[in-house]
Amino acid sequence: MHIYAFGSICRGDINPNSDIDLLAIVNYYDKRLDPQIFSIYSYKRIKEIWLEGNPFAWHLHKESQYIFSESRNDFLKELGSPQTYRDYLSDCEKFYDIFVQSKKLLSDQSTNKVFELSNIFLGMRNIATCYSLGCTFRPNFSRHSSLDIGEDSLKIPIEVYSCLENARILSTRGQGLQPHSHLVKQAIESLDLIDIWMVNLVEKARRYDKIYKQNCSSKTSSINN
Amino acid sequence: MTKFTNRIAAQRHLLLIINTSHLFEEELFGLSQKAIERWAMTNQISPNQKILTLIKEAAAKLFFLANHSQQHITEEYMDIVSEVETVGTKIQKEIKDLNSKNRVS
């Protein structure tokens, strides 16, 4: 078994809302490990996500700290760098779709507002992480990645951002106060702004992908010639 | 639809059943263990109440799917997808029963 810490605690950007992310890598089911505390992966699956260039593999590669193993070796370090992340476009599109669905429901119905606002935050965070990992040299895995991807950062009023983050924490950790209705209203009114930002990231990812594929095909044809 | 978006849709469906019932003072914000614990405590739902047991059962199944979503679709995975739907139907029935009881009392 190997145990690692990863995420905010390894970046040092901790605050009272931070949780401690722990990873356990095992060969077999181990009843000592509480899945509410550990992200539990098999060695086989870790090797697979490394080969896929999965964002989680990159997250672990960039921001994890070895804590324990019976064999006293650092398994993740020995794996080296994951493969290049190539699914950024489809991932950005997937998180945009999640956003669109929640945006529509927030304007159509009065229930599950916190849950839908939480999905908005999820979409914002993940699209920023996938975009920054796939299309820039500065991958950002933090909870606040949407605010920190250089010129492409999201620009919305801080109280709206806090309302969305608060909804995410309520939905996942059950902590915090229910957002005031005027803040929810303000957040819903800002969704068009977030929509434009996300569409721009998807478009940029698409252009980046097109250039990448053109470069690949010109390299292939020059080899063939 | 990806498995990830399917899980969000399943969660949304279950939350809608609970939150449109208007039986509870505070809505259920999510199906994480901690969100459920908070909801039960705020709404003074005792641990052995059927509605809470059913919600926890559905959440546990969704949690299992989340932790196995990276793997190939197995028969077990598909069985659990259909079990989530079955628990959803049971929750719907329980909400209906609770509503009837409320009307009588």
> Is A35 in contact with B64 (CB distance < 8 Å)?
no
**Residue B69 pLDDT > 60:** no
Most confident of A64-73, B57-66, B95-104: A64-73
Within 8 A of B67 by CB-CB distance, chain A residues are: 35, 40
β-sheet with A21-26: strand ranges across: A38-42, A21-26, A2-6, A64-69
Contact A19, A6 (CB under 8 A): no
Mean pLDDT of A176-183: 94
A60-83 pLDDT, tens digit each: 999 999 999 999 999 999 999 999
Query: Does A136 have pLDDT greater than 70?
Result: yes
Q: How many angstroms away from the CA of B104 is the closest CA of chain A?
A: 26
The amino acid sitting at A50 is: W
**CB spacing of A175 vs B16 below 8 angstroms:** no
Per the structure block, which two tokens stand in for A15? 């605050």
Closest partner residue to B19 (CB to CB) among A105, A111, A170 is A111
CB contact under 8 A, A36 and B33: yes
Q: From the CA of A9, how many Å to the nearest CA of chain B?
A: 21
| Helix and strand totals (H; E) in chain A | 9, 4
Q: What is the mean pLDDT of chain B?
A: 88
Q: Band of the pLDDT at B68, cuts 50, 70, 90?
A: low
| Distance in angstroms (rounded) separating the CA atoms of residues A196 and A111 | 25
Q: Which residue has the higher pLDDT, B22 or B37?
A: B37
Non-local CB neighbours of B42 within 8 Å, separated by 6+ positions: B25, B26
**pLDDT, tens digit, for every residue of A77-94?**
999 999 999 999 999 999
pLDDT at A224 over 90: no
CA-CA distance, A178 to A170, in Å (whole number)?
8
Mean pLDDT along residues A4-20:
87
Beta strands in A55-189 (DSSP E): 64-69
B12 to chain A: which residues are within 8 Å by CB? 105, 112, 115-116
Q: Which amino acid is at B70?
A: Q
In A, what residues contact B, Cβ < 8 A?
A: 35-36, 40, 45, 48-49, 94, 97-98, 101, 105, 111-112, 114-116, 118-119, 167, 170-175, 178
Q: How confident is the model at residue B1 (pLDDT cuts 50, 70, 90)?
A: very low
Question: Once rounded to an integer, what is the mean pLDDT over residues B15-36?
Answer: 95
Q: Which residue has the higher pLDDT, A196 or A222?
A: A196
Flag if A98 and B5 touch (Cβ within 8 Å): yes
pLDDT on residue A19: 81
Mean per-residue pLDDT of chain A: 94
pLDDT category at A16 given cuts 50, 70, 90 is confident
Q: Dihedral, CA atoms, A73, A75, A76, A78, nearest 10 degrees?
A: 80
